[in-house]
Amino acid sequence: MTTASIIIAPTDREAMEIQERAKASAWETMIARGMPEAEAQRYMPLFGGGVVGSPQMVLDRLAGGLQMTGARRLNLVFRLRSIPKEESRQSMHLFAEEVMPHLRHFSV
């Protein structure tokens, strides 16, 4: 099994804009809570979206990751603290409609 935080939007650009807002919010929160900057840097991929892009980009990255690691299961986090519910729902919808059907038949 492998775990990743995920942000999907209709275009790569839109997904990256969501990611930048998520990273800024996560950074502010970690620093405000007294986390040292070096430690906060290590956690940024968890809170800023590890797999980000359009449905095709996300499919390509997930398929490549599954193939490289040999993982047969995915644990995906769509609802990052700093992302509005609507954008998380959009990610889940795009994943269900445009990514998952292709991964379902992907063999490692």
Determine contact, residues 74/108, Cβ cutoff 8 Å: no
Residue 53 has pLDDT above 90, yes or no: yes
Q: How many CB atoms lie within 10 A of CB 107?
A: 6
- The conformation of residue 49, written as its DSSP 8-state character, comes to -
User: What gap in Å lies between CA 17 and CA 15, rounded to an integer?
Assistant: 5
User: What gap in Å lies between CA 33 and CA 43, rounded to an integer?
Assistant: 14
pLDDT band at 11 (very low <50, low <70, confident <90, very high): very high
Query: Could you tell me the two tokens for 99?
Result: 């990514």
- Count Cα neighbours of 56 within 13 Å in the Cβ-side half-sphere: 4
For the chain, what are the domain ranges?
2-103
Regarding predicted confidence, which is higher, 4 or 48? 4
Using a cut of 0.85, tell me whether the model's pTM lies above it. no
Q: What is the per-residue pLDDT across 63-108, written as a single tens digit (0 to 9) for each? A: 888 888 888 888 898 887 778 899 999 999 999 999 999 987 765 5
